[in-house]
Amino acid sequence: MTDLADLSIAEAGAGLRRGDFSSVELTDAALTRAGVTESHLHAYLTLDQHGARAAATAADQALAAGEDHGPLHGIPLAVKDNMVTRGMETTAGSKILSGYVPPYNATVVDRLSAKRAVILGKTNLDEFAMGSSTENSAYGPTRNPWDTDRVPGGSSGGSAAAVSVGSALGALGSDTGGSIRQPAAMCGLVGVKPTYGVVSRYGLIAFASSLDQIGPFARSVGDAASLLEAVAGYDPRDATSYRGDTPEISTLLDSGVAGMRIGVLAELSGDGIDPQIQDACRRMYDALADAGAELKEVSLPATEYALSAYYLIAPAEASANLARFDGVRYGLRVDGETTEEMMAASRAEGFGPEVARRILLGTYALSAGYYDAFYGQAQKVRTLLRNEFAATYEEVDVIVSPTSPTTAFAIGEKTADPLSMYFADVCTIASNLAGDPSGSVPVGLDAEGLPIGFQIMAPALHEAQLFRLAAEVERLARFDARPALATSEVKPA
Amino acid sequence: MTNWEAVIGIETHVELQTRSKMFCGCEVNFSADPNTTVCPVCLALPGALPVPNEEAIEGILKIGAALDCELVESSLFHRKNYFYPDLPKNYQISQYDVPLCVDGHIDIDVDGEEARVGITRVHMEEDTGKSLHGSDTGRIHDADHSLLDFNRSGVPLVEIVSEPDIRSPEQARAYAAELQRVVRALGVSDVRLEEGSVRFDANISVRPAGQAEFGTRTEVKNMNSLRSLQRAIAYEIQRQIGVIEGNGEIVQETRHWNEDSGATSSMRSKEESEDYRYFQEPDLVPLHVDGEWRDRVFAGLPELPSARRKRIVAAGVEPQAAATLVEAGDLADLFDHAVSLGADRKQIANWLTGEVVAHLRRNEVALADTGLSAAHLNELGSLVGEGALSSTAAKEVLGHVLSGEGSPREVAAARDLTQISDQTALDAEVDAVLAANPDVVERLRSGDMKPIGFVVGQVMKATRGKADPKLVSELVRSKTQGD
């Protein structure tokens, strides 16, 4: 019999409604899986066993009483630890927030609770979501369930590892430059960054406000759609929240790709991309053409500057966003002779080296005399990139590329060289700068048995097209491999 | 001996009295216990986001419109970055290169000399919290601890920046006073300097008269009354002239006005001044004010103080009295109301600026707290017109009406102040005075009318002021000028 922790959200939902098992049993299965895998992976920073069981019990009672809150009702999920949870420690992976217990819930957390989802706990991340490997967490790295000597990607590595190994059936992550899609690719999952503004950022601890977006991790395209549908929609508490009708998400899952115009991004097809990843993507392009899609090569020359622009804009915004962590009102305080010394000491002690690096980078980029050359110029690249995307979407419905230039790399491999780590985001960053939706779907394994991700980009608010193609890629790839660690038979390390 | 000219620009901060704060739903309440009107947004808890307050935007648009500014169709919020413990985000959401209102002006008048002061810009920002330093002096350097109150954090703040068009401390004061009147007339702020709901900073430089370039300027802060604004500017002008004439150089810096010592002192130099690293606030979208909204704001403006003064003067009221009425807007409201009921303008203006103002001052009460209404003023005017009250008695009646004793008619009756306008009743009184003063009668009969005042006075005395002096005077004439 299949372990309940290995069910998809859709399968689990059907089983709950058939009465095959309860939400409490489902939740216990995920917690049991966590119990044996956490010592190998460190996917979670906080596991709230008590709260999760209480929520599962309430979900079971509601369902028994005929109250059905939809696909997430009774489903155990994980939330990245940069989304605030009332009464549950929230650290953003930083020492500066060690022990911080928020007095309010992020909008997404409230929405999951309103749908009777069960929140298991908070997952590990690169400190303040700054990183591509989850090695920058102040609480130690998360490991990849497919190979525990490797990183799960980042910054949402904890969410990716948990869903991959079965210690959650789905999870929320956040994506500023690829922090959902890249770990999804490295852990063999579906991960989606929606259109900027579709999911409320209220309660998401900001890294780079104009780029941050919350999105789902799941083991199937349908599950990812269910998760996104549960949290999407206008929120009056986020002024950048999209005010129009929430875009359709799952309406075209079964439509196939006949006649769909797919642009293959030239800039991400060659140099710098692992040949095995190139091959896997090419095989998928052929399969899609066979399925009736029209494929053509498209070019976005500005993507060449996207990485540079991103590493000016994101740190600049971060330098202000992280200014509030000063030891005055909450979090770590290190005493000093004067208020200024106290603030400086608290920040020096509380922030890790990568966060400090980005604050310095961003502060410099915004400084008088440098603003035009750095931040101003980066904003121009952003505009240029948006224009190129807009022009390209006149010709194609979606754009595809690899999600990551490499499969999961070894722990410690890139930590000494920040620039090589920054390059891990090269495929994903353009969508954040443009504000467009983008997702990753697993399409196979490399020679070492590590997952390969296929990226789909769509125009703003065209999530339905993204999911339409994602569903076809899922059908064609028939990716059903699971990491060896994904079993409750494993012994804790 | 060089003739020096001062060049002054003023930055004014006005706290808006909205129901809620600029970027969150917390109540704006200056008398609440510390840290009780706060939430995740105005405390800058991790994850909180700002959402602009439409009532505050409406308020600043009114100010901009009243100052004859252009209201900008699409404006931007920026982050102004600096670390300070009472600024919870360690950046202030403000406006930078695209403020909401630009290019306006205020006309001022100093002793009849008119001048126009340009308004460069009016922009929206948020206030900080308050620090209370635990020391004897209240200053941070001597404190062993500080307390923070975030009730004020996020209160909507409007900054009004003038052009450097002001040339004297007197003009500066006139500008600040007129700006206050305008904001008060709009009803968007309680405009109380002592409580910090209006704050002025002055940029001051001096140059030889006739020179086109500006001299090096200093910025002077911490003036909390119109008087201290004027004094601080006067001091700073003299200080700068003294430095230059002593062959010194003015340092561009921020200076602190000390009310007790009557002097300014250096706070920080330009080199120490912060680089605020302004950049567009990514948590907010551009603020759009469409044509319909702008039209509505302009159409909804109340009559502004300068227009009101002109109208009241044109109606025959002395300029000084008109200014007094408009200065306290509620007096002008009462004036307009009474006039609309048909009362005599000059008479009403005299009463309001005389007895009423004196009563309010003496008793330290607000007009609204007295028993006086427009109908009362109108009735009082009618009683005088009918001859039922002398002008002296009218003032006495007004005092009792202000004290809440009732309408003028009721007061006059109750206190027996009604004038004797009945000829037969006064005949005997006049006769008695004439009989007692034959020498006066003699002079009157011979055509010397000078003593008539004496007779009227005696009659008034005998009737305890109730006689109608005009009627008495007529009676004296008819009784002495030939049959």
Mean pLDDT of A116-140: 98
Pair B183, B283 in one domain:
yes
A239–B contact, CB cutoff 8 A: yes
B125 is written with which tokens?
């920002």
Position B138 confidence tier, pLDDT thresholds 50, 70, 90: low
B417 is written with which tokens?
């102040």
Output DSSP code: residue A147. B
Please name which of A292, A270, A294, A293 lies closest in space to residue A281, comparing C-alpha atoms: A270
Q: Is residue B26 pLDDT above 90, yes or no?
A: yes
Q: Is residue A191 pLDDT above 60, yes or no?
A: yes
* Predicted pLDDT of residue A492: 82
Pair B291, B254 in one domain:
yes
Taking CA atoms, what residue in B is nearest to A363?
B277
Cα–Cα distance measured from residue A214 to residue A179, given in angstroms and rounded to the nearest whole number: 10
Taking CA atoms, what residue in A is nearest to B91?
A320
* Predicted pLDDT of residue B344: 87
Q: With an 8 Å Cβ cutoff, are B277 and A363 in contact?
A: yes
* Predicted pLDDT of residue B470: 82
Mean pLDDT of A133-158: 98
Which range marks the domain in which residue B442 is found? 423-481
Which residues on A lie below 8 Å from B43 (Cβ)?
329
* Predicted pLDDT of residue B479: 84
Pair B311, B271 in one domain:
no
pLDDT in tens, A409-467: 999 999 999 888 898 899 999 999 999 999 999 999 999 999 999 999 999 999 999 99
Pick from A168-182, A269-283, B268-282 the range whose average pLDDT is largest: A168-182
B320–A contact, CB cutoff 8 A: no
Residue at a domain's end among B238, B261, B296: B296
Pair B387, B427 in one domain:
no
Cα–Cα distance measured from residue B309 to residue B319, given in angstroms and rounded to the nearest whole number: 7
Q: Is residue A1 pLDDT above 60, yes or no?
A: no
Q: With an 8 Å Cβ cutoff, are A237 and B47 in contact?
A: no
Whether A80 is catalytic: yes
* Predicted pLDDT of residue B146: 84
Q: Is the ipTM of this complex over 0.95?
A: yes
Top residue of A202, A211, A213, A361 to mutate, by most chain B CBs within 10 Å, is: A202
Q: Is residue B179 pLDDT above 90, yes or no?
A: yes
List beta partners, residue A2: none
Give the pairing type, strands B218-223 and B253-258.
parallel
Mention every residue, 6+ apart, whose C-beta is less than 8 A from residue B292.
none
Q: With an 8 Å Cβ cutoff, are A240 and B47 in contact?
A: no
* Predicted pLDDT of residue B139: 62
In total, how many domains does chain B have? 3
Pair B256, B357 in one domain:
no
Catalytic annotation, pick one of A22, A23, A80, A133: A80
Pair B409, B427 in one domain:
no
Q: What is the mean pLDDT of chain B?
A: 91
Position B271 confidence tier, pLDDT thresholds 50, 70, 90: low
Whether A122 is catalytic: no
Pair B133, B12 in one domain:
yes
Residue at a domain's end among B274, B296, B318: B296
Contact A477, A442 (CB under 8 A): yes
Pair B427, B404 in one domain:
no
Residue at a domain's end among B296, B311, B345: B296
Candidates A83, A203, A323; nearest CB to B90: A323
Q: With an 8 Å Cβ cutoff, are A343 and B43 in contact?
A: no
Q: With an 8 Å Cβ cutoff, are B46 and A100 in contact?
A: yes
Q: Of how many residues is chain B composed?
A: 483
Q: With an 8 Å Cβ cutoff, are B79 and A320 in contact?
A: yes
The one-letter amino acid at A361: L
Which residues on B lie below 8 Å from A367 (Cβ)?
275, 277
Q: Is residue B200 pLDDT above 70, yes or no?
A: yes
Q: How many CB pairs under 8 A join A and B?
A: 103
Q: Is B386 exposed, middle or buried (0-12, 13-18, 19+ CB in 10 A)?
A: exposed
Q: Is residue B390 pLDDT above 90, yes or no?
A: no
Pair B376, B436 in one domain:
no
Q: State the first-to-last Cα distance of chain B, in angstroms, to the nearest integer.
A: 78
Mean pLDDT of A92-117: 98
Q: Is residue B135 pLDDT above 80, yes or no?
A: no
Mean pLDDT of B263-288: 89
Mention every residue, 6+ apart, whose C-beta is less than 8 A from residue B184.
B191, B329
pLDDT in tens, B404-460: 899 998 988 888 777 777 777 788 888 888 888 888 888 888 888 888 889 888 888
Q: Is residue B1 pLDDT above 80, yes or no?
A: no
Give the domain CATH number at B462: 1.10.10.410
Strands (E), B249-375: 253-258, 263-269, 279-280, 287-288
* Predicted pLDDT of residue B141: 65
Pair B352, B408 in one domain:
yes
pLDDT in tens, A313-371: 999 999 999 999 999 999 999 999 988 999 999 999 999 999 999 999 999 999 988 99
Position A477 confidence tier, pLDDT thresholds 50, 70, 90: very high
pTM for the model stands at 0.90
Top residue of A81, A107, A339, A370 to mutate, by most chain B CBs within 10 Å, is: A339
Pair B410, B427 in one domain:
no
Pair B380, B263 in one domain:
no
Please name which of B335, B46, B342, B323 lies closest in space to residue A324, comparing C-alpha atoms: B46
Please name which of A171, A168, A188, A224 lies closest in space to residue A6, comparing C-alpha atoms: A168
Interface of B with A in 120-159 (CB under 8 A): 140, 146, 148
Q: With an 8 Å Cβ cutoff, are A202 and B140 in contact?
A: no
Catalytic annotation, pick one of A113, A155, A167, A438: A155
Please name which of A397, A442, A192, A440 lies closest in space to residue A292, comparing C-alpha atoms: A397
